[in-house]
Structure 1
Amino acid sequence: MEKWEGKVSSTLTKAKADQIWPLFIDFFNFHKWFPNMSTCYGVHGTNGEVGGTRYCAGSSLPNEDGGADQVSWSKERLVAVDLKKMTMSYEMVDCNVGFKSYLSTIKIVCGDGEGCVVQWSFVVNPIKGLTFEDLVKKYQNGLDQTTKKMEDGLVQNFA
């Protein structure tokens, strides 16, 4: 079966990679940063370690139940973490948003000077009712909002 493969990135100018990385690897608390995610918590394993599994809920993607008032949810498991390279990969193990196969990788890259770049790539089976282009736009929008919120939070804490 054909897979969709995509990658988006967001450049931060006020936060360094070593400031942003801990916010992403705090895998069980991603709701603090990601738009439209109201809940995120650990259901198995240790936060930030391979095998750690989280439950996430919100309204970022339409759910398969079809109701606008129904919550979209997923269970996601960390499958790889490289602390030195600031890279983590996770898979979706269960959900109600149409993902039948899903692997995502986050990588934080040191920028020139003060900033950094966050890269988010994914491989997923095509999703019924959604085009590849629309999915990439959702990822880009989600990443841009997330990194802005992270950067703004860091700047406020150090101001």
Structure 2
Amino acid sequence: MESFKWQGCAEMAMAAPLERVWEIASDFCGMKKWYPALLVCERVEGTPEQGPGCVRYICSASSSSSSGDGILRAKEKLISMDCINHSYTYSVIDINIEGFQGYQSTFQVTESEEGSCAVKWNFEVEPIPGRSESEFVSKWSSVLTTILNTLQDLASSP
């Protein structure tokens, strides 16, 4: 029996070619290039080609961390990479947010009008004790939208 999970999504139309957005976003361990708020984003397991099984370590300033130092630390494992359909799925395997478990996310880029694309970033997570679903989903979707704004700026710059 599958357990209930909270689900959310961030979506954005981008005035940049699909190929350019995918080139940047598909670098699983290079997320710091398109989200400079990260203090660290580095490969800690897996092959240099960053295929499925690759694990990245990220950290950033966050009020959500349970460590008391204001730094969010997480390890994220690449589950699948589909370069034909321009999508990848990853899961959080370790994070310093109390009660944060079962997180999985899929990032996908699709072509829209010529020279532009759409990005959809879905996520699901097990309910977090002491948090409301609507508050968490809204906050997390907002964080992902902020990251997508930065990606769009980078992808549309010359």
Query: What TM-score comes out, normalization by structure 1 length?
Result: 0.86
CA distance in 2: counterparts of 1:39 and 1:52, whole angstroms:
16
Aligned residue in 1 for 2:37 = 36
Q: Aligned partners of 2:6, 2:64: CA distance in 1, in Å?
A: 18
Q: How does 1:40-119 map onto structure 2 within 5 Å?
A: 40-46=41-47, 47-60=49-62, 62-65=64-67, 67=68, 69-98=69-98, 99-119=100-120
Contact map agreement 2:63 2:70 (CA 8 A) in 1: no
Identical counterparts, % of pairs = 28
Distance 1:114 1:140, change over 3 A: farther
Q: Given the superposition, is the C-alpha separation of residues 35 and 140 from structure 1 closer, same or farther in structure 2, using an over 3 Å criterion?
A: farther
Residue aligned with 1:147, SS = helix
**Secondary structure of the structure 2 residue equivalent to 1:121:** strand
Preserved contact between residue 10 and residue 117 of structure 1 (Cα < 8 Å): yes
Q: Which amino acid in the other structure matches residue 115 of structure 2?
A: E
Q: Deviations over 1:37-94 (max 9, x none)?
A: 21110001135311110000012461123x2x33111101100111000010001111
Tell whether the 8 Å contact from 1:91 to 1:104 is kept in structure 2 after alignment.
yes
Displacement of 1:9 in angstroms is 0.7
Q: Distance in 2 between matches of 1:132 and 1:8?
A: 16
Runs (5+) with no aligned partner, structure 2: none
After superposition, the C-alpha distances for 1:94-140 in whole angstroms (9 at most, x for unaligned) are 11123211111001011122211110111210123432223333333
Distance 1:60 1:32 in 2: 19
Residues 65 and 97 in structure 2, CA contact (< 8 A), matched pair in contact too: yes
Question: 1: CA distance between counterparts of 2:120 and 2:63?
Answer: 20
AA in 2 matched with 1:82: D
**Aligned-partner SS, 1:72:** strand
Matched, 1:140 2:133: no
CA RMSD across the alignment? 1.9
**Structure 2 contact 73–95 (Cα < 8 Å) conserved:** yes
Q: Structure 1's 5 and 154: CA in aligned 2 closer, same or farther, altered over 3 A?
A: closer
